[in-house]
Amino acid sequence: SEEDFTKTVDESCEAIFKASRTLGRKEMQLVKVQQQTGFFLALDMSGCSTPEALRRYGVGHLSYSGQVEMMYKMHEMRSRIIKNPKFDGSRVVAAILFEGTIDSQIGGLPSATYLWEQKRVVPFLKIDMGLAEEGDGVQLMTEIPALDDVLDRGLGAGIFGTKGRSMIRHLDQQGIKAVVQQQFDIARRVLAKG
């Protein structure tokens, strides 16, 4: 009967819903990163790149005074982008955040929480502190002195993954080997944190 069919559909939908809720946040984020098409949005501008990024969005240097105000303006810009209705997890798989962003809020929630709970965008954290001078055709990451602390803060804030950038400028076997070694060394430390 129609009533039995409706009851079966309702029970099936309820069972599927409950089964989908059994995955934890990290597991759901992992599936999304592995399987969804889309892009990672870099919102990890640091102090060096921030003035130019702000200028391109129409915020001139006269709109802020000093590093703290500049970073606040940058967070306002990030928040505006993230809160836009067109920004959501249907196209944006993940967003890479600057370290200072994990301590900030968007819409009354911690930034990483807002990204995931409101937008279904997986939060990543930029952990590198910039690039060293070029040598052997590459630029390694500079030393990351407080990496363990940054990773702990990121985990506590709901960050899913990390980004650490190196640069290969020329084909040089020794340089490329150094980049790969450094990336794997840091990756082991990141994985050890969970």
For residue range 26-46, what is the model confidence (pLDDT) as tens digits?
999 999 999 999 999 998 876
Per-residue pLDDT, averaged over 138-145, amounts to: 96
Mean pLDDT, the chain, as a whole number?
91
Residues 6+ apart with CB under 8 A from 121: 41, 82, 87, 88, 89, 92, 93, 94, 95, 115
| pLDDT in the model for residue 66 | 85
Taking 80 as the threshold, does the pLDDT of residue 49 lie above it? no
pLDDT of residue 170: 96
pLDDT of residue 54: 85
Residue 8 has pLDDT above 70, yes or no: yes
User: What confidence score (pLDDT) does residue 74 get?
Assistant: 86
Helix axes 111-119, 66-83, angle to 10 degrees: 10
Name the E strands within the chain.
Answer: 39-43, 92-97, 105-106, 109-110, 122-126, 138-139, 161-163, 167-168
C-alpha 93/C-alpha 34 separation (Å) is 10
What pLDDT, on the 0 to 100 scale, is given for residue 151?
96
Query: Which pLDDT value is given to residue 21?
Result: 64
3-class DSSP state of 163:
strand
CA–CA distance, 62 with 70 (Å, rounded to integer): 10
